Chains A and B, each alone.
Chain A
Amino acid sequence: MRATAAEETQSGTLVLLCLASWIIPGAGHLWLGRRAKGLIFLVALPLMFAIGVAIRGRLFPFELSDPLVGLAALADLGIGAVYFIASSLGYGGGDVRAVTYEYGNAFLIVAGLLNMLVVIDAYDVALGRK
């Protein structure tokens, strides 16, 4: 069965919505008119990520030889554009000697995972499930 033009347009829009929501936390909700939710995500998630960087957390490299490091890198990437901005500016090197190193990692990883949850929520809202 072939998809109609309207369905293809809708699925294209959904992909764009999810991409926007991933790149800029909260953008998906702002797009869908949920301003308050979108603004909360837009402020809270990058702030959480910034705290993780500030307390010497590490942005993990994509090392497939160590699955846990690879998964942590994938979770870090979940925050979207903020990840690329921080890594291009040289932040996120981490300092394993710092008392707050593990806390920093937890902040960075969870900020990325929460943004993935926000992307899924935006997708559900767009489909009318919520």
Chain B
Amino acid sequence: MQSHLLLMAIFAFFVSLVFAVVAKDEPRDQLRFGSLMFGGFLASAVVLGWLMYPFPL
């Protein structure tokens, strides 16, 4: 398992899951909050990745 994108998605999944379960009590709210957070993680990672693309290592 060496795909950075996959590892980032797994990481985002676990963090979103725990935050959603801690922050909300109703399953419907948990699903909504967790999905939003997971999507936010993925979207911000892709956007930041592209923003850093022009910079050399």
Binding site for B on A (CB under 8 A): 37, 40-41, 44-45, 47-48, 51, 54-55, 99-100, 103, 106-107, 110-111, 114, 117-118, 121, 130
Q: A44-B14, A110-B15, A114-B15 are in contact. Are A37 and B7 (CB under 8 A)?
A: no
Interface of A is mostly: helix
Interface bin, chain B: 10 to 19
Any chain A CB within 8 A of the CB of B2? Answer: yes
Task: List the B residue with the shortest CB-CB distance to A120.
Answer: B22
Chain A residues whose CB sits within 8 angstroms of the CB of B28 once the complex forms = none
Chain B residues whose CB sits within 8 angstroms of the CB of A37 once the complex forms = 21
Q: A55-B1, A100-B1, A100-B2 are in contact. Are A45 and B11 (CB under 8 A)?
A: no
Binding site for A on B (CB under 8 A): 1-2, 4, 7-8, 10-11, 14-15, 17-18, 21-22, 25
CA distance A100 to B11 in the complex (A): 13
CA distance A41 to B11 in the complex (A): 15
One of B2, B7, B18, B25 near A44 (C-beta < 8 A): B18
CA distance A41 to B22 in the complex (A): 9
CB of B1 to closest CB in A, whole Å: 6
Q: A48-B14, A99-B2, A110-B15 are in contact. Are A41 and B7 (CB under 8 A)?
A: no
3 tightest A-B contacts by CB? A48-B14, A114-B18, A103-B7
CB of B22 to closest CB in A, whole Å: 5
CB of A101 to closest CB in B, whole Å: 11
